[in-house]
A and B are shown apart, each in its own frame.
Chain A
Amino acid sequence: MSKKITCIVCPNGCEIEIEGDKISGYTCKRGLEYAKEEMIAPKRTITSTVKIKNSNEVCPIKTSKPIPKEKIFDVLTEINKVEIVKPIKMHELVIENVLNLGVNIIATKEFL
């Protein structure tokens, strides 16, 4: 059985075809890695925001590494509970090892 996926590694969006062990259509190493992983354990980098105490703005955050796709909404529940305090540095740790996934939640913007 063959499966077609769109590579999300870069804006090129290559169409990759996977037929058993045979993977074709990728144009770079990272694309091949992505296709392999997508077949066994699909992962995504997630971005969202967290509340900043005494501010009407929120702080953008991201997962330091891609997380398993099925954990996305569980991780977001954790993210929504958090409230952080200024000053916030770029890539400051917001949640360490979220849900024991071995992934951190980090700030992606500086707030003085």
Chain B
Amino acid sequence: MIKKDLVIIGGGSAGLASAVSAFDNGIRDLIILERNPELGGILNQCIHPGFGLHHFHEELTGPEYADRYINEVKKRNIPYLLNSQVLNITKGKIVTFINENGVQKFEAKAIIFAAGCNERTRGQILTPGYRPKGVYTAGLAQKYLNIYGRLVGKNVYILGSGDIGLIMARRMTLEGAKVLGVSEIMPYSNGLKRNIAQCLEDFNIPLRLSNTVTNIFGRDRLEAIEISDVDEKLQPIKGTEKIIKCDTLLLSVGLYPFNSMLKNAGCVVNKESKGSLVDQNLETSIEGIFSTGNVLHVHDLVDFVSEESERAGTNAAKYILNKLSEVKNIVNVSHSKNVSYLIPSIIKVREENENIIFSFRVRKNIKKATIILKNPAKVHYSVKKINLLPAEMIKINVKNLNLLDCNELSLEVIEDE
């Protein structure tokens, strides 16, 4: 069996960034496995601008952002295999994959799992009614439009105000479709504010909050949908139904990590993020298997995926080169109820002072908050933030945390008046 120091699964934004940083930290025997015929992942179909402001300090489109990293990979001659689908991963870090040369295996010292996320589908949100053609996830419609130049329909309604849905409202409008409206079941939008402005308001597309699709009509092709307002428990309110004639319904109802392969390998799952449970180095419960990007938790910005994945690459390199010092203490990290998930879940303390990045999302809009990190005895860190939104990932970079004598750490978001 061919041995590799590092196998990176996925050649999208996460895989590319982790490959570059692993290389720059001394790893030479590495390879990227990508299932598509090109590197870049989902960025290739995100042809709109808005990427890179944090990372490259300029506004790029998805393919341009991918191109920057692809060039970095090529500059370093980091090997990659295209059209190569990973079939499974074992606890012993054997990666089985398939391509036109056959089913093959790598025995890896370390694995970085960067396989991205999936869109939630109609089946997962239980939308009742008929099952005609014309109901698409926003990402599939995006692929058809931006890769193949084809519209899926002419009269479009969108369920869910996630960013892909908002972006697709604009894209389909620009390509000649009529977008009739967007319904969001929550009382707030799930997309970035600027996307509401430039994708909906610019084209007078109505956004209906606390509203959802309650029926779908049409035996073969979508003919109409029924929308209804919902109450605080997200249940449809009788009497508020409205029929909208349309040939297309796009679903932008959330993303979830495509993590089943790591789950099957035996990596413990973080039930809240739906990705793997990781420590501050992004290492899963199986030593030497790291997870990063949207397969770890769904990010709002690709810039943060790159940043996180560079960390994964650096840490995997340290692991392979035996540069990680001995674990002196293990701290479990919990969070307050208004936080929907938190990464990391545990901290393996190796140094007296650790620099740790915490990523999380809140469950509801919070205007002003104090975020604190504490154990029962001591507040380790505290910072004030404004305008926390569930749609946005929050990242805090905590320097010099001394956790040698700490067992439990808790991240709490306290609402300020």
A residues near B (Cβ < 8 Å) are 5-13, 15, 44-49, 51, 56-58, 60, 62, 69, 72-73, 76, 90, 108-110
* Complex alpha-carbon distance, A72 and B170, angstroms: 12
Give B67-104 interface residues, CB cut-off 8 Å to A: 67
Instruction: Tell whether, in the assembled complex, residue A49 and residue B149 are in contact, meaning their CB atoms are under 8 Å apart.
Output: yes
Q: How far in angstroms is the closest Cβ of chain A from B179?
A: 14
Which listed residue (A11, A48, A60) contacts B300, Cβ 8 A?
A: A11
Minimal Cβ-Cβ distance residue in B for A57? B147
Which listed residue (B59, B149, B198) contacts A51, Cβ 8 A?
A: B149
* Complex alpha-carbon distance, A47 and B49, angstroms: 7
Q: Which residues of A contact B147 (CB under 8 A)?
A: 57-58
Query: In this complex, which of A15, A45, A46, A109 has the most chain B Cβ atoms within 10 angstroms of its Cβ?
Result: A109
B residues near A (Cβ < 8 Å) are 44, 47-50, 53, 59, 61, 63-64, 67, 145-149, 174-175, 192-194, 196-198, 201-202, 300-301, 392
Which listed residue (B59, B149, B175, B194) contacts A13, Cβ 8 A?
A: B194
* Complex alpha-carbon distance, A49 and B46, angstroms: 11
Instruction: Tell whether, in the assembled complex, residue A49 and residue B192 are in contact, meaning their CB atoms are under 8 Å apart.
Output: no
Query: In this complex, which of A46, A48, A51 has the most chain B Cβ atoms within 10 angstroms of its Cβ?
Result: A48
Instruction: Tell whether, in the assembled complex, residue A48 and residue B50 are in contact, meaning their CB atoms are under 8 Å apart.
Output: no
Instruction: Tell whether, in the assembled complex, residue A90 and residue B67 are in contact, meaning their CB atoms are under 8 Å apart.
Output: yes
* Complex alpha-carbon distance, A58 and B144, angstroms: 10
Instruction: Tell whether, in the assembled complex, residue A6 and residue B174 are in contact, meaning their CB atoms are under 8 Å apart.
Output: no
Given A57-B147, A60-B61, also A6-B193 (CB < 8 A): yes
Q: How far in angstroms is the closest Cβ of chain B from A14?
A: 8
Instruction: Tell whether, in the assembled complex, residue B50 and residue A11 are in contact, meaning their CB atoms are under 8 Å apart.
Output: yes
Instruction: Tell whether, in the assembled complex, residue A11 and residue B174 are in contact, meaning their CB atoms are under 8 Å apart.
Output: no
* Complex alpha-carbon distance, A90 and B49, angstroms: 15
Query: In this complex, which of B149, B193, B301 has the most chain A Cβ atoms within 10 angstroms of its Cβ?
Result: B149
Pairs across A and B, CB under 8 Å, 20 listed: A6-B194, A6-B196, A6-B201, A10-B53, A11-B194, A11-B392, A44-B198, A45-B59, A49-B47, A49-B146, A51-B149, A57-B148, A57-B149, A58-B146, A58-B148, A60-B146, A62-B49, A73-B174, A108-B64, A109-B47
